[in-house]
Chains A and B, each alone.
Chain A
């Protein structure tokens, strides 16, 4: 009777695990498909964009400029930044700034700040995109070194659970966790921006905590089984 119950529980558990694995696999597959076809959605700061700078001759509020850009370029993602130590120049970055948009913005700025800016003497700069691999590159070595040392530690600490099995589980789970994160970002079209790398690091560390918790449990079970024998 008891044996039947544990068998049922095991089956239930494996069913649950199977469902989780299937969901994860589907998320990753959809993520890969979207990345390969549409690509990842890079944030404006990493995309090809246009930038113009306007000398306002006075301190200003970013929210005021934001209001103007919202009126002139409705629905467009715009980055507004203050320039230089006196913070009297505004830098406006958007995916594209047309001549009409430039003219309207300058008119609005002249009206609000009393400046005499002229569209003809205001240049629109092209900002080249930052490649994904350039964003990731500085993190490869630190992650590589840390992972290598952690794998050595895992292999020693959980040798009783089987070195190869432990290492494989660690590598696979760590990779899968990151892939799930990136796939979710690809599916939901969350932009790859300044929070992506911190998110990757956080997921990496939380996965490590999850893995050690799991291995510690397994190790304790194994030791208790060995002592009971």
Chain B
């Protein structure tokens, strides 16, 4: 009966090992498909989106009047019309020669890194060519990648200007922080949830906004005019004309007009709320607005890049660590494990053999667990797997050496030995557990993947050995295979 139990467990372990390392293939149409879930790989093993930001060397055509002021509505005029009006055309570089220096390139790189962090990109490499100013970014490929890329080339230059004179009234330096807010809106034509971008200004900005909101208002002026009736010179009529004069501001981001408006009342709070899209009840549309507002908020929150960049290239490049190289790592690990298991068998005979089977079972369940718990496999987590295999070996070796020291082995002694080994082992790895739990919460994929692999590994060591290894050792001991 016990032999049968032992055989069943061993066959179970062999089955799990086959599934874990070779898969379960089922015919789908005319091809064989592995039904075992595939691993999720990190950027270093899968590949990355490579984005090259190049310093923008293009020019803008600016039309100025005789006084040197920029004219905004003269793009459609011909050269003759421009000359007639006394306007002149100038080619202005997007990046003036003064801004093109190493310090500004480094500042731009730092802003890009901050943006990536706030956009929730959990693994990236940013490198800077200090001579040309080109910035190379590597980010993981997923559903958000395109949205992240669209935020990389944006300069993030925020300006509130006088609509008429184009005088810059406020800029990025006045912003304290930008947040995204949303709430229900049941007024006006659209109902549902509306998304707002809440711009909070610093002390200086608050004061500026107060003055602007006092100045840029709609004013009504009354003009009294006397008109004379032509037919009757004696009769004089007095007409009253009301003129509405509006001073407006224009809000621009990266030179693109966001809105032109005036103020109804003085803003003393130092906060400006801009609605993004219209109120909606559609969840997808709402998410789109939230993402749009969040991206813009992140860009504004981190200041504008001193240098304007363009996305020169944007392509997905696969990892240089190929599948065959990964297989080599796997085979090397398996070979090392095999050598150590042979040592275990030589040292502890039948108990060693049983424990070796148990060890293989743990390794198989572990790799299946990593597939189904969606743990991302990175180079770091491969080392994590190796550490778990080492830790389990230490545990099993300790357990068997303690059992070997016992003169007689029965149920009670095995229980005590297990208890003792567990206590000793887990006390020793408490600092490792602390580090592992900390790593799990870190928003940096390589380290969190290492943490997750270790977490599941340690959990498996604790549960698997108390159940399967314990059972196997007991059955083996009771059938006379103590040492």
Contacts and interface: CB of A to CB of B under 8 A. Distances in A.
B431 A208 contact: yes
Q: Which of B52, B132, B317, B386 has the largest number of chain A CB atoms within 10 A?
A: B317
Chain A binding surface SS class: helix
B374 to A, nearest CB: 20
Contacts of B134: 126, 128
B316 A128 contact: no
B319 interface: yes
Contact of B439 (A130, A142, A197, A206): A142
Contacts of A154: 431
Q: How large is the interface on A (under 10, 10 to 19, 20 to 34, 35 or more residues)?
A: 35 or more
A205 B386 CA distance: 12
A170 to B, nearest CB: 9
Q: How large is the interface on B (under 10, 10 to 19, 20 to 34, 35 or more residues)?
A: 35 or more
Given A45-B320, A197-B446, A209 B428 contact: yes
Q: Which of B52, B429, B430, B434 has the largest number of chain A CB atoms within 10 A?
A: B434
A146 interface: yes
A91 B383 CA distance: 28
Contacts of B406: none
Interface stretch (B67-75, B123-131, B143-151): B123-131
Contacts of B466: none
A201 interface: yes
A149 B136 contact: no
A125 B322 CA distance: 23
Interface in B341-388: 379-380, 382-383, 386-387
A212 interface: yes
Interface string A211-227: 11100100000000000
Q: 10 tightest CB-CB pairs across the interface, nearest first?
A: A198-B383, A128-B129, A146-B438, A146-B435, A208-B431, A82-B318, A142-B442, A128-B127, A150-B431, A198-B380
Interface of A: 45, 62, 79-85, 87, 91, 125-131, 134, 138-139, 141-142, 145-146, 149-150, 153-154, 157, 194-195, 197-199, 201-202, 204-206, 208-209, 211-213, 216
Interface of B: 44, 47, 52, 125-130, 132, 134, 136, 315-322, 379-380, 382-383, 386-387, 424, 427-432, 434-435, 438-439, 442, 444, 446-447, 450
Given A126-B132, A154-B431, 15 more contacts: A81-B47, A81-B320, A84-B316, A128-B127, A128-B134, A138-B444, A142-B447, A153-B430, A153-B434, A197-B380, A198-B379, A209-B432, A212-B427, A212-B428, A213-B428
